[in-house]
Amino acid sequence: MDAMSEWVIITNKGFSNDDWMSRSVIEPENILSGNIREEQLKKFQLKLKNDFQVETLKSFLPYLSAISIDFPSEKDGRGFSLARRLRQLGYLGTLRATGHVIVDHYRHATQSGFNQIAIPTKLAKRMPEPHWQQQIDSITPSYQEKLQPGSSTSYSSKNNILIKEKKAIQNLNLNNTGFVGVVVTKITHWTDWLFSFRVVRPKNFRFQSGEFVMIGLPGDNGKPLLRAYSIASPSWDNELEFYSIIIPDGPLTSQLQHISVGDNLILNPKATGTLILDSLLPGKRLFMFASGTGIAPFISLIRDPETYEKFEQIILLHTCRGIKDLNYGKNIIEAINKDPLIGEYADKVFYYPTVTREEFHTKGRITELLKTGKIFQDLQLVPINCDIDRAMICGSRGLNKDIKEFLEVLGLKEGARNRPGEFVLEKAFVGLNPIGLGSSL
């Protein structure tokens, strides 16, 4: 056992001294061997490599108060996934990212569950405190933090857009409803009938990339008018992003299309869904089949480093009625190579858009292009193999049914959250008018 030294500690207040100096470092083997009594564990700091199977420590987590995860390289993001897993298993203590963590990783680290970052003093000289403080200050405070006693100031989003003060959220009168108010920070209209919007992420709201939530507005009868929307932002993002179609005379979207920055929406802070990585068995390639706004959960997954840790190639197939309907997904995909977290994985992403009602270089339904083999020929990929390939489906009722049948013929078996398989589809919206997921073509 040895003590940690020569580190600069970064918290949400900037640089600070290392208050773990008095703690001895222990390895998982020290715990699992039974050499240390449970009541003594709070005195130590546990050092983990970024590929450690933390499930083996689950019963010891309530007794631990300090865990550090090693980052041997700034391009190795496995530590973020490990942090999320520790939080999911119930670890409540301090979690520190130690090693080659750079300024651009700060937002991702905090959303993954880290409280602190520890970098070598040599690295700190190349990335001094003002660089980190700028990143810290750029993160929009959650609305709960702004509602603390004595706080009455307005605040801005990362785009420096002024949004409403605390009283506007309080006026939603959500006491004892289980819902929370969220403030709109950005709106983008991609066509006359498709738009995306971002809201401040509630404090302590955790989800897995690919899940959905209920979100909406107050109804005329005083009750919340909610619909299910897939979260299009990745699990590390400080804001929540959604992608919506405007349904003429729709109870919610007819109103939602008119929201402005600073408006308040209602959110049920419980995310769920089957389109998560844990629902799939290990594989080499991940196929994502989407139609319409069904691309939303895949936009979340494709911006999550964990997706690239688990799969060597990501193939996103998106079909819409018209060319303009592809704008949202196309814009996200084209920006991947500039993303500081996943830019290095850009060459792993294969994007195949198709349209059904206009002339286009890849015109046709996904199912027909799969059966003819044109998709694989165009992308220069071998056809789907049940031994190495996994798939997710999110779209219209027809697309879900056709792709499911296609995959089953190839030998892929459907999975679920509690029973991983070779492919999954989102069943929660079957029979409903899916707002934030697939729209009929």
In CATH, what number is assigned to the domain containing residue 92? Answer: 3.20.20.70
326 and 419 in one domain?
Answer: yes
Predicted pLDDT at 170? 43
DSSP 166-185: HHHHHTT--TTSS-EEEEEE
Residue 72's CB is within 10 A of a number of other CB atoms, namely 13
Report residue 90 as tokens: 């119930």
Closest CA to 67 of 50, 75, 76, 77: 50
Quick one: pLDDT band at residue 339, thresholds 50, 70, 90?
confident
On whether the CB atoms of residues 415 and 422 are closer than 8 A, the answer is: yes
Predicted pLDDT at 176? 58
Q: Which of 124-133, 322-331, 387-396 has the lowest mean pLDDT?
A: 124-133
**Distance (Å, whole) CA 172 – CA 268:** 14
Could you say which of 272, 288, 314 is where a domain stops? 272
Q: What is the pLDDT of residues 50-87, one digit of tens each?
A: 889 888 998 899 999 999 999 998 777 789 889 988 98
Predicted pLDDT at 157? 40
Closest CA to 202 of 270, 258, 137: 270
What is the Cβ-side half-sphere exposure of residue 438, based on CA atoms within 13 angstroms? 26
Report the share of the chain in percent with pLDDT over 70: 87
**Does any domain span residue 441?**
no
In this predicted structure, the answer to whether residue 435 has a pLDDT above a threshold of 70 is: no
**Distance (Å, whole) CA 319 – CA 290:** 6
Residue 306's CB is within 10 A of a number of other CB atoms, namely 22
283 and 221 in one domain?
Answer: no
Predicted pLDDT at 156? 38
Quick one: pLDDT band at residue 268, thresholds 50, 70, 90?
very high
**Does any domain span residue 369?**
yes
In this predicted structure, the answer to whether residue 132 has a pLDDT above a threshold of 80 is: yes
Q: What is the pLDDT of residues 283-321, one digit of tens each?
A: 999 999 999 999 999 999 999 988 998 999 999 999 999
**Does any domain span residue 431?**
no
In this predicted structure, the answer to whether residue 201 has a pLDDT above a threshold of 70 is: yes
0.85 surpassed by pTM: no
314 and 259 in one domain?
Answer: no
What region does 237 belong to: left with phi over 0, alpha with psi -120 to 50, or beta?
Answer: beta
Quick one: pLDDT band at residue 148, thresholds 50, 70, 90?
very low
**Does any domain span residue 350?**
yes
Predicted pLDDT at 168? 45
In this predicted structure, the answer to whether residue 430 has a pLDDT above a threshold of 60 is: no
194 and 67 in one domain?
Answer: no
98 and 43 in one domain?
Answer: yes
Placement of tokens 């700028």 in the chain: 134
222 and 161 in one domain?
Answer: yes
Average pLDDT over residues 7-17: 90
Average pLDDT over residues 424-432: 69
**Does any domain span residue 1?**
no
283 and 266 in one domain?
Answer: no
Q: What is the pLDDT of residues 359-379, one digit of tens each?
A: 999 999 998 999 999 999 999
**Does any domain span residue 306?**
yes
Could you say which of 104, 138, 172 is where a domain stops? 138
Predicted pLDDT at 323? 96
Helix (H) / strand (E) element for 301: namely helix 296-302
Domain with residue 344: its CATH number is 3.40.50.80
Quick one: pLDDT band at residue 5, thresholds 50, 70, 90?
low
Average confidence score pLDDT of the chain: 85
Q: What is the pLDDT of residues 23-49, one digit of tens each?
A: 999 999 999 988 888 888 999 999 999
Predicted pLDDT at 110? 87
Closest CA to 339 of 87, 86, 77, 128: 77
Structural domain tally of the chain?
3
**Does any domain span residue 433?**
no
Report residue 299 as tokens: 């936009």
297 and 346 in one domain?
Answer: yes
Domain with residue 162: its CATH number is 2.40.30.10
Quick one: pLDDT band at residue 143, thresholds 50, 70, 90?
very low
266 and 287 in one domain?
Answer: no
Per the structure, the complete domain to which residue 383 belongs is given by 277-425
Q: Which of 168-172, 344-348, 386-390 has the lowest mean pLDDT?
A: 168-172
Average pLDDT over residues 205-210: 91
DSSP 21-49: TTSBEE-HHHHHTT-S-GGGGGGSEEEE-
On whether the CB atoms of residues 428 and 212 are closer than 8 A, the answer is: yes
303 and 203 in one domain?
Answer: no
172 and 284 in one domain?
Answer: no
**Does any domain span residue 241?**
yes
281 and 310 in one domain?
Answer: yes
In this predicted structure, the answer to whether residue 165 has a pLDDT above a threshold of 60 is: no
Could you say which of 257, 272, 287 is where a domain stops? 272
Predicted pLDDT at 7? 87
Q: Which of 41-55, 101-115, 205-219 has the lowest mean pLDDT?
A: 101-115
Placement of tokens 């290392």 in the chain: 18
